[in-house]
């Protein structure tokens, strides 16, 4: 990891945030890509890849809670860290930033809803009960 003019340069495989750590900032991917991983019983499952101009970890500026996933650089990635104070200051300067954040969060909720529906359909097609329901 090295500091640049803007953001921090993470090398391939470097961890930006670790699942279970307390979050206090969000991140803007300025260059490159990062992967989002869920860790469970020593296994990692990739749940997504995000790239340039994407926001990650945005829930941390609203709630001081543990990170729900690990984020790791895929190749070199330059990432800008934005803490709550800087975020609120930037919204004062440019209110459209808040709108962009809400758009991002809405898109992610929609994607998750589609994924849940797909998984329930697959489970029903296999003759099993959809997740969250008993037979």
Q: Are residues 76 and 110 in the same domain?
A: no
**The pLDDT value given to residue 111:** 86
Whether 67 is in a domain gets the answer yes
Q: What is the pTM of this model?
A: 0.73
pLDDT, tens digit (0-9, with 9 covering 90-100), for 54-101:
989 888 888 878 999 999 999 999 999 998 888 888 888 988 888 888
pLDDT-based confidence at 132, cuts 50/70/90? low
Distance of CA 69 to the CA centre of its chain: 7
What tokens does 49 get?
Answer: 């890849």
Per-residue burial over 107-125, b if 16 or more Cβ lie within 10 Å, else e, is eeeeeeeeeeeeebeeeee
Name the residue among 46, 54, 93 with its Cα closest to residue 71.
46
Per-residue burial over 90-99, b if 16 or more Cβ lie within 10 Å, else e, is eeeeeeeeee
**The pLDDT value given to residue 34:** 98
Q: Are residues 55 and 15 in the same domain?
A: yes
Whether 132 is in a domain gets the answer no
Q: Are 86 and 41 in contact (CB under 8 A)?
A: no
Please count the structural domains in the chain: 2
Q: Are residues 77 and 98 in the same domain?
A: no
Going by the DSSP 8-state scheme, the letter that residue 66 receives in this structure is B
**The pLDDT value given to residue 129:** 57
Q: Are 73 and 12 in contact (CB under 8 A)?
A: yes
Whether 135 is in a domain gets the answer no
Q: Are residues 101 and 72 in the same domain?
A: no
Q: Are 83 and 61 in contact (CB under 8 A)?
A: yes
Which SS3 state, helix, strand or coil, does residue 17 take? strand
Whether 42 is in a domain gets the answer yes
Domain region containing 35 = 2-84
């Amino acid at each position: 990891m090295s500091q640049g003019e803007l953001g921090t340069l993470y090398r391939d495989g470097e961890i930006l945030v670790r699942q279970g750590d307390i979050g206090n900032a969000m991140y803007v991917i300025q260059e490159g890509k990062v992967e989002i991983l869920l860790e469970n019983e020593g296994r990692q499952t990739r749940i997504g890849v995000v790239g340039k101009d994407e926001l990650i970890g945005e829930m941390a500026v609203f709630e001081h809670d543990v990170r729900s996933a690990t984020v790791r650089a895929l190749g070199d990635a330059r990432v800008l860290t934005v803490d709550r104070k800087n975020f609120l200051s930037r919204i004062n300067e440019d209110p459209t930033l808040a709108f962009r954040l809400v758009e991002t969060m809405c898109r992610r909720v929609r994607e998750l809803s589609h994924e849940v529906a797909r998984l329930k359909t697959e489970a029903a097609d296999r003759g099993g009960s959809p997740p969250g329901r008993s037979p």
